[in-house]
Amino acid sequence: MEYFESIKDRLLFAIPKKGRLYEKCLELLHGADIQFTRSQRLDVCLVRNFPIALVFLPAADIPRFVGEGNVDVGITGQDMVAESEMSDLVTEVLQLGFGKCSLQVQVPEKGQLQAVEHLAGKRVVTSFEVLAGKYFKDLDDKLGTNTKIEYVGGSVEAACALGLADGIVDLVESGETMRAAGLHAISTLLLSEAVLIRSTKTKKTEHIPLIERLTSRIAGVIAAGKYVLCNYNIERTRLKEATNITPGRRAATVSPLEDEGWVAVSSMVEKKAMAEIMDRLEAIGASDILIISLENCRV
């Protein structure tokens, strides 16, 4: 009780305590210079350099704690927000670019049920009862069927092989687990990724500047992971061509060089496209092309 008294005036930030989002969230906090030490036996810890308390919760519970409880901000999946029916009580602040997956209807690849219309009225196992229930209710209303939705907390992909279900609704990331279980997807309910959420209703106005600062830091870390800085020299007569290749997030920075007729260009480009961009710049006569990694930024 004394420990929870010590955090009551701090901004409460919920983090997934385990699972597919946990390690990525720790990397994000480190990049944003959120300094803390988490005891193995406690799911609450104090941040040393900000008046923030980190609360480690199951990802599925975070939308409800942010929407209805005293937690100010949190990181969870878009699928969890939809499943908890908290969309009206929480606001999506940032898409974080990791934890991407699809919530899909899956059936045995070699089975007779190869369309969702065939699965309607049969047995469906899932850990997403709300979303699966809404999806199949629409089908049932249309087809006059009565699909049986059953909840299983884990190993959903094994339900068909073990005789518990005719089909499942489950998250798919790489698809390896689905294929290993002899399943394939026949429909997609939604696409999801990790997001930073905050309560739609401001709980403590004094926390607003800190929430905005925290959001800016996290956005900077996300951008630094997505972009690199591309520097090169180009003849001024080819500048328009070059900046079409590297337009930057807002605009490229162009500086004159002592060598008459040449300019230096600096521009942020997407990391995944940097090799192709270097090839295109070289093809139009750019020289001294340098790619610089970003540790952090503000964009």
Same-fold call for 2-98+194-203 versus 101-192: yes
Reply yes or no on whether the pLDDT at 3 is more than 60.
Answer: no
For the chain, the structural domain boundaries read 2-98+194-203, 101-192, 227-293
Reply yes or no on whether the pLDDT at 2 is more than 60.
Answer: no
- Which of the four pLDDT bands, split at 50, 70 and 90, describes residue 277? very high
Give me the CATH code for the 227-293 domain, please: 3.30.70.120
Lowest mean pLDDT among 111-115, 158-162, 267-271: 111-115
Decide yes or no: CATH 3.40.190.10 for domain 2-98+194-203: yes
Q: What is the pTM of this model?
A: 0.84
Q: What is the pLDDT of residue 1?
A: 47
Beta strands in 78-182, from DSSP E residues, in sequence order? 90-95, 101-108, 123-126, 148-151, 167-172
Q: What value, to the nearest 5°, has the Cα angle with vertex 38 and ends 34 and 42?
A: 135
pLDDT, tens digit, 9 for 90 and up, residues 165-216: 999 999 998 888 899 889 999 999 999 999 999 999 887 888 999 999 999 9
Rounded to 10°, the helix 208-226/22-31 angle is 100
Reply yes or no on whether the pLDDT at 41 is more than 80.
Answer: no
Architecture of domain 101-192: 3-Layer(aba) Sandwich (3.40)
In the predicted model, what is the mean pLDDT of residues 210-233? 94
